[in-house]
Amino acid sequence: MVHVRDGNLDRALAIMARKMRSSGIERLIRRRSQTHRHVKDSEKRVLARKALMQRVRSQELGKKLRDILIKKIRRIQCFFEGKLRRLLLVLAKRSTKWLVDFMQA
């Protein structure tokens, strides 16, 4: 979205063109309108670098999310193991037979 300030339409169009160029919309429009367009080597390098950086960012995000999930699972397991131990101790004090049956199952 581009705002026109003080009736300066030329400035607003220039800002819009810059935003379209930086977001890649201009490239998509060109690609759809011209199927056999020559892409300069410098543009290929820029696109390849952007694609590489995007892949790296998504892989890093995936690793971070995986690490967070593993930590949460471990924390939950530790929490329930502690609760289970306490429960077994309480039940063991009350009924040794129940505990023996539970351990054999």
Per residue in 62-103, pLDDT (tens digit) is: 888 888 887 877 777 777 777 777 766 666 566 656 555 655
Read off the pLDDT of each residue in 33-48 and give the average, rounded to a whole number: 82
Q: What is the per-residue pLDDT for 3?
A: 85
Q: What is the per-residue pLDDT for 10?
A: 92
Q: Which residue has the tokens 């009736």?
A: 7
The DSSP element (H or E) to which 3 belongs, if any, is: none
Rounded to two decimals, the pTM is 0.39
In 24-40, where does DSSP find H-type helix? 25-33
Residue 70 and residue 81 in contact, taking contact as beta carbons nearer than 8 Å:
no
Phi, psi of 57 (to 5 degrees): -60, -40
Q: What is the per-residue pLDDT for 73?
A: 76
